[in-house]
Each structure stands twice: as structure tokens, then as C-alpha cells.
Structure 1
Amino acid sequence: MTGAHWAVIGLLAVGAFAIRVSGLVAGRRIRDSRHAWVLDDLPGLIVVSLVTSSLVGQPLLTWIAAAVALGIAILTDHVIATMAVGVSVFAALSWLGV
């Protein structure tokens, strides 16, 4: 490998390290600020955004299974039960040809 390759590798390593350090610094500043309440809801917001973006453009069958899974999540507050019921509903509706 040439010196240019090593320079790129070194630059990428420094960049990756800087991103991680800046995340730690920003996280600490947010925790110490008046906006710390946002961090409490962040994991749930990330899950909701991922699920919502994955449902866009999906057929009705997927939306029905997701709605049933949401109902189970609200009733039980149990992740494994929610996933199992959601997948089961999707499989059953697919098998029935809905």
C-alpha cells in the first residue's frame, strides 16, 4: 500500500474517533441542560420512527398485522408477546390469502 492509502486510513480513524468523542461530549451537555427530558423518550421515539418508515408503502396486510401488534404492545407491554403475535397475525393472514 502506498502512503496515500495509509493517510486515508489514518484520516478515517481520526474521523471515527472524533465522531464518538463529540457524541459523548454532546450527550453530557444535553444531560446537564434543561433539555435532558428528551433523552428519556428517545429510545421509544427511535423505535416509532423506524417502524413508521418501514410501513410506508406496505400492503394492507402489513398494516393490519402492525395494528394488532400495537394493540398487544399497549395491552401487555411485553416485547416478545408483541413480536410473536404480530408475526403470527401476518403469517395467518398471508396463509388465508388476505
Structure 2
Amino acid sequence: MTGPYWAVIALLAAAAFLIRVAGLAAGGRIRASRHAWILDDLPGLIVVSLVASSLAGQPWPTWIAAGIAFGVGAMTNHVILTMAAGVAAFAGLAWLAG
């Protein structure tokens, strides 16, 4: 590889490192502020946003399977059982629709 390739690799590595350091610094400042409660709820909010964006534009069997998975998760609070119920519901609904 030539010099410009190594320069791009070094620049990208430095940028990735600085992004992580900035995240650590921002997280530390948020933990010390009155907005620390946001970090406690952040993992759940990220999961909800990923699921919501995944469901956008999906057909009705996907929405029904997601609702079934939500119900099982709310009743049992068991991750593996929730995933299994959602997959089984989706497979059954896809089989019925197809």
C-alpha cells in the first residue's frame, strides 16, 4: 500500500478513537448532571426505537406477531420465551397468509 492509503487509515483510526473518547466524556458529564436519569432509560429507548423503525411499512402478519411477542414479554418478562413466541407467531401467520 502507498502512503495515501496509510494516511487515510490513520485518519479514520484517529477519528474512531476521538468519537469514543468524546462519548465517554459526554457520558461522564451527563452522569454528574441532573439529567443522569436519561442514561438509566437509554437501553430500553434504543430497543423501542429499533423495533418501531423495523415495523414501519411491514405487512399485517409482522405487526400481529410483534403484538403477540409484546404480550408474552409483558406477561412473562422472559426474553427467550418472548422471542420464541414472536417467531412462532410470525411463522404461523406467514404460513396462513401464504
Query: Do they fold alike, i.e. is TM over 0.5?
Result: yes
Q: Does 1:2 align with 2:2?
A: yes
Structure 1 CA distance for aligned equivalents of residues 94 and 86 of structure 2: 12
Tell me the CA shift for residue 96 of structure 1: 2.1
Taking the aligned partners of 1:97 and 1:61, their CA distance within structure 2 comes to 8
Partners of 2:87 and 2:6 in 1: CA distance? 47
Matching of residues 1-98 of structure 1 within 5 Å? 1-97=1-97
What TM-score, normalized to structure 1? Answer: 0.94
Normalising by structure 2, what TM-score?
0.94
Gaps of 5+ in 2: none
Number of residue pairs the alignment of both structures matches: 98
- State how far apart, in whole Å, the 1-side matches of 2:44 and 2:25 are: 23
Segments of 4+ moved more than 6 angstroms:
none
CA–CA separation in structure 2 for the residues paired with 1:85 and 1:13: 42
Q: CA RMSD for the aligned pairs?
A: 1.1
